[in-house]
Amino acid sequence: MSEKRTKEGNGAASDARRSRRIKTATVIIMAIVIMVPTAYGFAARFWEFIKTFTSVDGGGFTIVPIMNYTLISLGFVFLLVWAVANGMFRDVEGPKYTMLKTEEQLDRHEKSPGVSK
Protein backbone atom coordinates (compact mmCIF):
# COMPACT_ATOMS: atom_id res chain seq x y z
CA MET A 1 0.00 0.00 0.00
CA SER A 2 2.84 2.40 0.78
CA GLU A 3 4.31 1.69 -2.66
CA LYS A 4 1.04 2.79 -4.23
CA ARG A 5 1.07 6.05 -2.25
CA THR A 6 4.70 6.64 -3.21
CA LYS A 7 3.89 6.10 -6.88
CA GLU A 8 0.88 8.43 -6.64
CA GLY A 9 3.02 11.03 -4.87
CA ASN A 10 5.68 10.77 -7.57
CA GLY A 11 2.98 11.07 -10.22
CA ALA A 12 1.66 14.29 -8.68
CA ALA A 13 5.18 15.69 -8.41
CA SER A 14 5.84 14.69 -12.01
CA ASP A 15 2.62 16.37 -13.15
CA ALA A 16 3.56 19.55 -11.26
CA ARG A 17 7.02 19.61 -12.88
CA ARG A 18 5.48 19.00 -16.30
CA SER A 19 2.97 21.80 -15.77
CA ARG A 20 5.74 24.16 -14.66
CA ARG A 21 7.80 23.29 -17.74
CA ILE A 22 4.83 23.93 -20.03
CA LYS A 23 4.20 27.31 -18.39
CA THR A 24 7.87 28.25 -18.64
CA ALA A 25 8.04 27.22 -22.30
CA THR A 26 4.87 29.18 -23.06
CA VAL A 27 6.26 32.32 -21.42
CA ILE A 28 9.56 32.01 -23.29
CA ILE A 29 7.82 31.47 -26.64
CA MET A 30 5.50 34.44 -26.06
CA ALA A 31 8.47 36.61 -25.05
CA ILE A 32 10.29 35.69 -28.24
CA VAL A 33 7.21 36.26 -30.42
CA ILE A 34 6.72 39.72 -28.89
CA MET A 35 10.30 40.86 -28.33
CA VAL A 36 11.95 39.89 -31.64
CA PRO A 37 9.77 42.08 -33.89
CA THR A 38 9.86 44.87 -31.32
CA ALA A 39 13.64 44.75 -31.06
CA TYR A 40 13.94 44.68 -34.86
CA GLY A 41 11.71 47.76 -35.20
CA PHE A 42 13.61 49.61 -32.51
CA ALA A 43 17.02 48.75 -34.00
CA ALA A 44 15.89 49.67 -37.54
CA ARG A 45 14.59 53.09 -36.41
CA PHE A 46 17.72 53.74 -34.36
CA TRP A 47 19.95 52.81 -37.31
CA GLU A 48 17.88 55.08 -39.55
CA PHE A 49 18.46 58.02 -37.18
CA ILE A 50 22.21 57.35 -37.11
CA LYS A 51 22.41 57.11 -40.92
CA THR A 52 20.49 60.39 -41.25
CA PHE A 53 22.76 62.08 -38.72
CA THR A 54 25.96 61.00 -40.47
CA SER A 55 24.86 61.41 -44.11
CA VAL A 56 22.83 64.62 -44.25
CA ASP A 57 24.34 68.07 -43.66
CA GLY A 58 21.30 69.13 -41.65
CA GLY A 59 21.12 65.78 -39.84
CA GLY A 60 21.83 67.38 -36.47
CA PHE A 61 18.12 67.33 -35.68
CA THR A 62 18.40 63.55 -35.14
CA ILE A 63 20.57 64.03 -32.02
CA VAL A 64 17.48 64.44 -29.83
CA PRO A 65 15.75 61.20 -30.95
CA ILE A 66 19.04 59.31 -30.71
CA MET A 67 19.60 60.54 -27.15
CA ASN A 68 15.97 59.79 -26.21
CA TYR A 69 16.19 56.23 -27.55
CA THR A 70 19.52 55.65 -25.80
CA LEU A 71 18.56 57.08 -22.41
CA ILE A 72 15.15 55.42 -22.27
CA SER A 73 16.60 52.07 -23.32
CA LEU A 74 19.35 52.28 -20.71
CA GLY A 75 16.79 53.27 -18.08
CA PHE A 76 14.67 50.20 -18.81
CA VAL A 77 17.71 47.92 -18.83
CA PHE A 78 18.93 49.27 -15.46
CA LEU A 79 15.41 48.94 -14.02
CA LEU A 80 15.21 45.33 -15.20
CA VAL A 81 18.64 44.49 -13.76
CA TRP A 82 17.71 46.15 -10.44
CA ALA A 83 14.42 44.22 -10.26
CA VAL A 84 16.11 40.89 -10.97
CA ALA A 85 18.92 41.61 -8.49
CA ASN A 86 16.39 42.47 -5.74
CA GLY A 87 14.30 39.35 -6.32
CA MET A 88 11.23 41.05 -7.75
CA PHE A 89 10.54 38.06 -10.03
CA ARG A 90 11.08 35.25 -7.52
CA ASP A 91 7.53 34.86 -6.21
CA VAL A 92 5.15 36.66 -8.51
CA GLU A 93 2.17 34.53 -7.43
CA GLY A 94 2.62 35.05 -3.66
CA PRO A 95 1.09 38.52 -3.29
CA LYS A 96 -2.28 37.48 -4.70
CA TYR A 97 -2.54 34.61 -2.21
CA THR A 98 -1.52 36.91 0.62
CA MET A 99 -4.19 39.39 -0.42
CA LEU A 100 -6.88 36.70 -0.56
CA LYS A 101 -5.84 35.34 2.84
CA THR A 102 -5.94 38.83 4.37
CA GLU A 103 -9.36 39.46 2.80
CA GLU A 104 -10.66 36.22 4.27
CA GLN A 105 -9.33 37.15 7.73
CA LEU A 106 -10.96 40.59 7.52
CA ASP A 107 -14.29 39.04 6.50
CA ARG A 108 -14.14 36.61 9.42
CA HIS A 109 -13.29 39.46 11.78
CA GLU A 110 -16.26 41.53 10.56
CA LYS A 111 -18.67 38.60 11.02
CA SER A 112 -17.51 37.80 14.55
CA PRO A 113 -19.86 38.93 17.36
CA GLY A 114 -19.06 42.14 19.17
CA VAL A 115 -17.57 43.90 16.14
CA SER A 116 -19.35 47.12 15.36
CA LYS A 117 -19.59 48.45 11.84
- Give which of 69, 8, 6 is closest to 42, Cα–Cα: 69
Residues 6+ positions from 65 with CB-CB distance below 8 Å: 49
Domain segments of the chain: what residues? 2-111
Answer whether 89's CB lies under 8 Å from 83's CB.
Answer: yes
Q: Looking at the predicted structure, is the pLDDT value of residue 5 above 60?
A: no
**What tens digit of pLDDT does each residue of 17-63 get?**
898 899 889 989 998 999 999 999 989 988 988 888 888 787 788 88
- pTM listed for this prediction: 0.51
**Torsion (CA) 92, 98, 103, 104 in degrees, nearest 10:** 130
